[in-house]
Amino acid sequence: MTSPPSSPPPSSPYAAPAASVLDLAPVVPVVVVEDAADAVPLARALVAGGLPAIEVTLRTPAALDAIRAIAAQVADAVPGAGTVITPRQVTDCVAAGARFLVSPGWTDALLTAMQASGVPFLPGVSTTTEVVALLERGVREMKFFPAQAAGGTAYLKSLAGPLPQARFCPTGGIGPANAPDYLALPNVGCVGGTWMVPEDAITAKDWARIESLARAAAGLRRRPLSAGGTCR
């Protein structure tokens, strides 16, 4: 995640930057908001459970309003935008109050827009070539997606030797059972997941359940590697 300017100019439309999302909590909730009215109580539940960084995906018409509401009403939250795939979305999300951006992949145009946005970002990668290309552009923090399908912990472990400067937030196919395996890797700062924001809990507005799941996720710790260096 490229470090943004420490103090944006007064005319800048961008919000103050967040600290590296990879270091805020072991898990970044990946949230799909169907009704913007749910955004604030959902964010408050996640923050109360110890997960301040919240990735609101641009998969519904309510996403930008959800980001806007969280940014305005949940002081301790660090709202971000996920599934960012166009330069226009970069502009719209930051104007809505997103303090970080996450993409499932990247192009030159998208990367240029994210670098110019003034907020931290995690471009998505799934191959060594993509990682090297981003390092060449000065980007060291990335989303590894889709994590399980793209090789999982074994693939990320193989990158740590030749490319130790790259750090990752793996997302895709990760839950409470395998999250500690990812967190045990030296090049993983946090993981992204949806298990603490189940759709049925959001529909039922069961914020207490979401807070409880978030607290359990926030309590995840890195598992030590075995003597042979394999995640178990």
Active site residues: 55, 143
User: Length of the chain in residues, anyone?
Assistant: 232
SS3 5: coil
Question: What amino acid occupies position 186?
Answer: P
CB 46 within 8 A of CB 210: yes
DSSP string of 23-67, one letter each residue: GT-SEEEEE--SSGGGHHHHHHHHHHTT--EEEEETTSTTHHHHH
CB 227 within 8 A of CB 59: no
Dihedral sign for Cα atoms in the order 182, 24, 172, 157: negative
Block residue for tokens 């145009």? 109
Question: What amino acid occupies position 92?
Answer: D
